[in-house]
Amino acid sequence: MEDIEEIKRRKLLELQKKLEEERAKEQERIQQEIQKKAILRQILTSEARTRLNTIRMAKPELAEQVENLLIQLALSGKIGRINDSQLKKILAKIAENRREIRIRRI
């Protein structure tokens, strides 16, 4: 009987530890997201933020790619404040580089 109780206790401790690790990872992810939004708020005008949010609705992976690029450039000091027309140019450059695969039926 003691072995069963010991096994249950160990299993419970493992589950608690795993839950704590998951909570810590989630907190870290939330913190990174908050920092990311703060940086974007500083470098993007309201019109540019609106455009980026609109893009996020249609193509979340593209919005993520643009956000990461903008943050990298801002942190390295290569860009300042980005307005809507500058964001359009950046999006056009990224769109040129992206290759879209289309399947046509015959």
CATH of the domain at 84: 1.10.8.140
**Predicted confidence (pLDDT) per residue in 64-89, tens digit:** 999 999 999 999 988 889 999 999 99
Q: What gap in Å lies between CA 80 and CA 28, rounded to an integer?
A: 27
Confidence (pLDDT) at 105: 80
77: left (phi over 0), alpha (psi -120 to 50) or beta: left
Residue 47 lies inside a defined structural domain of this protein? yes
**Predicted confidence (pLDDT) per residue in 28-66, tens digit:** 999 999 999 999 999 999 999 999 999 999 999 999 999
Per the structure block, which two tokens stand in for 70?
A: 């903008």
Helical residues (DSSP H) of 1-106, grouped into ranges? 2-43, 46-58, 60-75, 84-97
Q: How confident is the model at residue 101 (pLDDT cuts 50, 70, 90)?
A: low
Q: Determine the structural domain holding residue 18 and report its residue range.
A: 2-97
Residue 22 lies inside a defined structural domain of this protein? yes
Residue type at position 50: T
Residue 82 lies inside a defined structural domain of this protein? yes
Phi, psi of 82 (to 5 degrees): -110, 125
Q: How confident is the model at residue 99 (pLDDT cuts 50, 70, 90)?
A: low
Residue 21 lies inside a defined structural domain of this protein? yes
Count of domains for the chain: 1
**Predicted confidence (pLDDT) per residue in 1-32, tens digit:** 678 888 999 999 999 999 999 999 999 999 99
Q: Is the dihedral of CA 79, 73, 40, 56 positive or negative?
A: positive
Residue 58 lies inside a defined structural domain of this protein? yes
Residue 105 lies inside a defined structural domain of this protein? no
Residue 14 lies inside a defined structural domain of this protein? yes
Alpha-carbon distances of 90 from 69, 73, 94, rounded to whole Å: 10, 12, 6
Residue 104 lies inside a defined structural domain of this protein? no
Comparing C-alpha atoms, which of 45, 32, 38 is closest to residue 81? 45
Query: Is pLDDT above 70 for 100?
Result: no
